[in-house]
Structure 1
Amino acid sequence: MSQPHCLPGSTGWSDNGQPATLGVMGGGQLGRMFVHAAQSMGYFTVVLDPDTSSPAGLVSHQHIQRDYLDTQGLAKLVQHCAAVTTEFENVPAAALATLAATRPTAPNAEAVAIAQDRIQEKAHLARSGVPVAPYAVIENAADLATVADSLLPGILKTARLGYDGKGQLRVSNRAELASAWDALKHVPCVLEQMLPLADECSVIVARGWDGACVHFAPQRNLHRQGILAVTQAYEGNLPPALVDKAVTATKKIADELNYVGVLCVEFFVLAEGSPESAALGGLVVNEMAPRPHNSGHYTLDACDQSQFDLQVRTLAGLPLVQPRHHSAAVMLNLLGDLWVNGCIPPWDTVLALPGVHLHLYGKLQAKPGRKMGHLTVTAATAAEANAVALEAARLLGIEAF
């Protein structure tokens, strides 16, 4: 499929004199923010998602309430859209392949299929020459019996459908490994060696149909119970050598995938001076996400272009310009745990702090661990951003970082 030319405010592929329409598979908060970005540039939008109250569907021009593999739903999406993207990696790759037969679709089905399966993902990263944690594939009892001793202790991860720490179990020895595989119902898994970690970070790039690629500087991430809790985005958050290495690796992964769209790659920073760090170059890829990412939400407030602006540009075939990061930023994830016993968090007190930006996702029910929104603090310096973010965390009852 050739590069689309869906210009803002033009008729695009439509024949009714209206602006071009961009479609998104998935109706969560990432889709919602894509819709807002597309609409701000003059596009109409349509969301395909089965949830009647999906955050993206509630704000889009049109919401097709169908399953992702529903043939009528896909046909209707094609009828309305000039180009289609996705907002989460578990949209069936087959649906994207169907759409790509008649409309520019980014990312492509092949890239999404690789990101959906840790076994394929590890193999692709190896082909790209990017370091990963030592691992073994476990698909049957024979694989389980021949796991190398050097991989223990490790983390057993399901090959598919794991996110926010789900589908992952820590194991210290062979008995725990066997028990964990039983608990995961003997589905295909990857066992990764547990490495001495100093930090976690991620890099977001946007790659166009012509291969042009721009990036945001790596952001430093803190996870709790497998869910992103805090992102720190400012110069000096990571050693310069690691910054360059992470950006180079992410662009290489995107190039090898012939990727179009916004891609996030998560990295583990290894403890300096450890044998593992020396062997692996201090940095290993954890996983990739073929979409905008939770750790990049700060770009809405701290950069002149957000990751969602770049998602629109890549999909529509518009020029990519290197984004400028104009403010130090700290982002706090707002989980459903904050709505204790149905009480509303003290937004008035929090919003009285300088540089605070509140983003709530329009979800109708708060649940523990559910991402309800995020709070970004911007400031002239990292010290100021961290100080205000710590005070906001205290007011909200979020653990200090």
Structure 2
Amino acid sequence: MTVESTAARTPRRSAGSKAGTTGTKRTTSTTKKAAGAGRSAEPALVQLLTPEGKRVKNAEFDKYVADITADDLRGLYRDMVLTRRFDAEATSLQRQGELGLWASLLGQEAAQIGSGRALRDDDYVFPTYREHGVAWCRGVDPTNLLGMFRGVNNGGWDPSGNNFHLYTIVIGSQTLHATGYAMGITKDGADSAVIAYFGDGASSQGDVAEAFTFSAVYNAPVVFFCQNNQWAISEPTEKQSRVPLYQRAQGFGFPGVRVDGNDVLANLAVTKWALERARAGEGPTLVEAFTYRMGAHTTSDDPTRYRGDEERLAWEAKDPILRLRRYLESSNHADEAFFAELEAENEALGRRVREAVRAMPDPDHFAIFENVYADGHALVDEERAQFAAYQASFADEDGGK
């Protein structure tokens, strides 16, 4: 049974309501009426692990995690715990003035670790600016993610070294980059796949629609992984789409599936399925990871201005790390020694991140002028001279020091 047939046979829920939430204060009755037109039940949702840590059987997707071992489960838990700690340290560093900005992934660890661990080494990833967990899975040192946010480099890692592209700040553009790369893979005869990450807000961008069109027409081996964390900064998903996001794929001619974004096993299984489709020449897939951003959009955002505490508390009860820990404990796959050892590793990572950020050297102030034209340019030379005079003025104010 395909995902398309599952979705078609399962009652759907109105876009004006969210599974597991208490709604939002900003939604008006008019919006709810328009968004819910023609739909009255909940969309299909792939789930293999409940918030209480109980395994759920799913005949279609269990086979993709059938061979997962206790070591694998502990590894997934470790990935999520350490990613959350790194993310928390980065947020704290920004508050202390060590970073200019930070986009937290708090609450989205299962979506990122589950999908990231589904990838093969030869697959290629196009992230946004929040995929810290996927970067972890690709072997990118977490301290390398911080250089751009500290303003000391333009990325911090070699994309070809880990098949993990640099963070993309322009909303949605990476889906086009991923589609073009996937089309190139097909031309080269490779059997690898591409995955593009984006959020529910980016799904409203024209670039994403264009990427869907080109990927479908050219049968590109690309997986579009949408982390629907319910809020595009301050706008709820129901104000962006009258249908669940995964259903948009149907209009472009490829399958879409909604997965419980806080269930690491479901994200692993669904992403494996989508990647295998791509490698087999069956074209693109849209995966909507239905999750929640428990923190701010970025450290410049105040989520208390547009959403209530009751919504966040409802999602905290579905915390992705807590649910896997419950499963590990109930299945006797992890003991207290494991958790104690992980906590020590957690503390060590926090110290390493803090020390690494503060040790980052300041960039050469004039480096910005060196990478504009290969052979130089009169206007750039003029701007460099003006900047040099500006910098020298500070030395003059300090008595030449």
| Fold match (TM-score > 0.5) | no
For the aligned pair, the TM-score class normalised by the smaller chain equals under 0.3
Q: Given the two structures, how large is their TM-score scaled by the length of structure 2?
A: 0.27
* Greater gyration radius: 2
Q: Report which of the two has the higher share of strand.
A: 1
Q: Given the two structures, how large is their TM-score scaled by the length of structure 1?
A: 0.27
Q: Report which of the two has the higher share of helix.
A: 2
